[in-house]
Amino acid sequence: MVAKAVGVLTLLSLISAIVVTVEADYVRPPPRPTLRFPWNPKPSSHPNQICSVILDKTNLQSQVHISLAGENHIRITWITADKYAPSIVEYGTSPGRYISVAQGESTSYDYLLYSSGKIHHTVIGPLEHDTVYFYRCGGDGPELQLKTPPAQFPITFAVAGDMGQTGWTKSTLDHIDLCKYDVHLLPGDLSYADYVQGRWDTFGELVQPFASARPWMVTEGNHERELIPFIKDGFESYNARWKMPYKESGSSSNLYYSFEVAGIHVIMLGSYADYDEYSDQYWWLKADLLKVDRTKTPWLIVLFHVPWYSSNRAHHGEGDGMMAAMEPLLYAAGVDIVLAGHVHAYERSKRVNNGKSDPCGAVHITIGDGGNREGLAHRYLYPQPEWSEFREASFGHGELKMVNSTHAFWSWHRNDDDESVRSDHVWITSLVGSGCVSERRQVRRKNLLAV
C-alpha cells in the first residue's frame, strides 16, 4: 500500500511538473492564497450560508448546488457522510411548509486513497417560473431557498470561469452576490482540485451559499480532468459531483449538453471531449443546432473552456483544432455569443468569424478570471488584432442581461481592490434582430447542419 502511494505521488509530481513547465512562459501577479476552511466561521446573513463541517457525521448535508434539469425542473445535488441518508428533497413556496417531495438517486467514487461521501442528485418539479422555493435535503437539516428563472425576458446571467478557491475567488463571489442574477454560467475550471479530492469538498462548501440559491450551469476545464494513465479515466470526480442535464438534452456525455431558459438556447461544449467531424460531440452539436427554433429562443449562446479568439500569449492557439472543426457549424447556426475561460484574463471581441470581423459572426468573450491560485495572464500579443475590442488581465466577473429578443447588455466587473468596478460594457444586438438569421440563411444552415 505504501509503495503504491509513493508511486502515485511520484506520478502526480511528474504531472504537476509538466503543467508548471507548460505554463511558465507568462508572468502572473501575486495570486491570493488558497482559503482555509471554514471560510466563514461566524454566522452569515446569507440565507443559504451554513456553517457546517465537511462530511462530519453530525452534518446531515453539505455542498448543496442546483442546476437546470429540463423544462421547469431543477436538480438538487448534495453530499452526506452517511451512506444510508435518503436522496429525497422536500420543497414548497412557503418556509417550513413542504407540500412536495421528490426521490432522487445517488453515487459515490473512490480516487486512490480518497473515498467520496454519498453524492445525491434529486430532480424537483415541475416548478413555477420566477418563484422562490424553500427546500431541505435528506428529510432533515437546514432549510435552503432557491429562485427559479423567469419564463420570459429579461433574464440575467452571472459569468465567471477558472474559479478556484482563493481570496480572489471569494472576492469574485461576493461581487456576483451583489448582482441580481438568475443563472450562473461557468465555462470550466471549478475547484482546482488537481487530484487532491478534498479540494472538491472545500470548493463545494465555498460556493454553496450561491450555488444552492441559483442554478449553476458548468462545463469542464482542464483542471477537472484529473487523468492518471492506466489508473483513472478523466473527469470521474467532476462527473460524479457536477451532473448537468446531458440526458435531458440528448447528449451521451456530461461533458457537453444544452438547455433552454427564457428565450435563450445555451450550448455547453466540451473542450476536452473529442470534437472532430467523426466524434459523438460533433454529431450531437449538429443535431442540437438543428433543433433550435429562433422564434422560441431568439438568442443562441455557446460556452466552452479553451477560447478560440484570444490575443493573450497564455495558451495561445490551444483552441485552434476545436475552432477549425466547429466554428463553421456555429456560424451557420447564427450563434450570438461565445463565452470561454482558460486564459486568466478578460477579453471581448467584435463579431467575428474565420479569424476576421464579420457582422454575422459571434461575439467571443474570454472570462477565465474568476480568481484561481495560478494568478493572472498578463502578456498579450502585439499589435492587438483588429477583432479584439477590449482586453485586460484582472480578476472579475461578467453580467449578461438579456433585455429582450433583440438586445442584451454585457458588462465586465473588475475586482479592483475589492471594489466591483464596471470596466467594460456593450450593448449586443441579436443576429435575429440584425437580419443574419434570415429565411434565406436558414436554408443554408439546414444544408450544412443536416445530419
Which parts of 342-381 interact with Fe ion (CB under 5 A)? Answer: 342
- Binding pattern to Fe ion, positions 208-227, x when CB under 5 A? -------------xx-----
- Binding pattern to Fe ion, positions 135-174, x when CB under 5 A? ----------------------------------------
**Minimum CB separation from Fe ion for residue 147, in Å?**
30
**Minimum CB separation from Fe ion for residue 221, in Å?**
4
Stretch that binds Fe ion, among 185-193, 317-325, 419-427, 432-440 (CB under 5 A): 185-193
**Minimum CB separation from Fe ion for residue 16, in Å?**
15
**Minimum CB separation from Fe ion for residue 224, in Å?**
9
Nearer to Fe ion (CB atom), residue 343 or residue 431: 343
**Minimum CB separation from Fe ion for residue 142, in Å?**
34
Residue of minimal Cβ distance to Fe ion: 342
Nearer to Fe ion (CB atom), residue 221 or residue 361: 221
Indicate whether 307 belongs to the interface with Fe ion (CB under 5 A): no
Stretch that binds Fe ion, among 170-178, 181-189, 401-409, 412-420 (CB under 5 A): 181-189
CA dihedral 326, 331, 335, 338 (to 10 degrees): 50
Q: How far apart are CA 356 and CA 338, in angstroms?
A: 15
> How wide is the angle at C-alpha 117 spanned by C-alphas 115 and 120, nearest 5°?
135
Nearer to Fe ion (CB atom), residue 117 or residue 307: 307
> 301: closest CA among 260, 355, 342, 349?
260
Residues 317/336, Cβ–Cβ less than 8 Å: no
**Minimum CB separation from Fe ion for residue 193, in Å?**
13
Nearer to Fe ion (CB atom), residue 65 or residue 342: 342
Q: In sequence order, which residues have a C-beta less than 8 Å from that of residue 49 and are 6 or more positions away?
A: 40, 43, 208, 209
Nearer to Fe ion (CB atom), residue 263 or residue 341: 341
The cell 486513497 sits on which residue? 113
H/E stretch holding 350 reads strand 346-353
Q: How far apart are CA 440 and CA 284, in angstroms?
A: 24
Nearer to Fe ion (CB atom), residue 90 or residue 189: 189
Active site residue 73: no
Cα–chain-centroid distance for residue 87? 24
> 322: closest CA among 188, 192, 434, 444?
188
For Fe ion, the binding residue among 90, 182, 189, 369 (CB under 5 A) is: 189
Stretch that binds Fe ion, among 60-68, 192-200, 206-214, 340-348 (CB under 5 A): 340-348
Cα–chain-centroid distance for residue 70? 17
DSSP output for 379-410:
-B-SSPPTTEEEEE---EEEEEEE-SSSEEEE
Tell me which of 121, 175, 184, 315 is the catalytic residue.
Answer: 315
Burial of 26 (0-12, 13-18, 19+ CB in 10 A): buried
Residues 305/163, Cβ–Cβ less than 8 Å: no
Stretch that binds Fe ion, among 105-113, 175-183, 188-196, 424-432 (CB under 5 A): 188-196
Q: How far apart are CA 102 and CA 122, in angstroms?
A: 7
Nearer to Fe ion (CB atom), residue 372 or residue 415: 372
- Give the active site residues: 315
Residue ranges in contact with Fe ion by CB under 5 A: 189, 221-222, 342
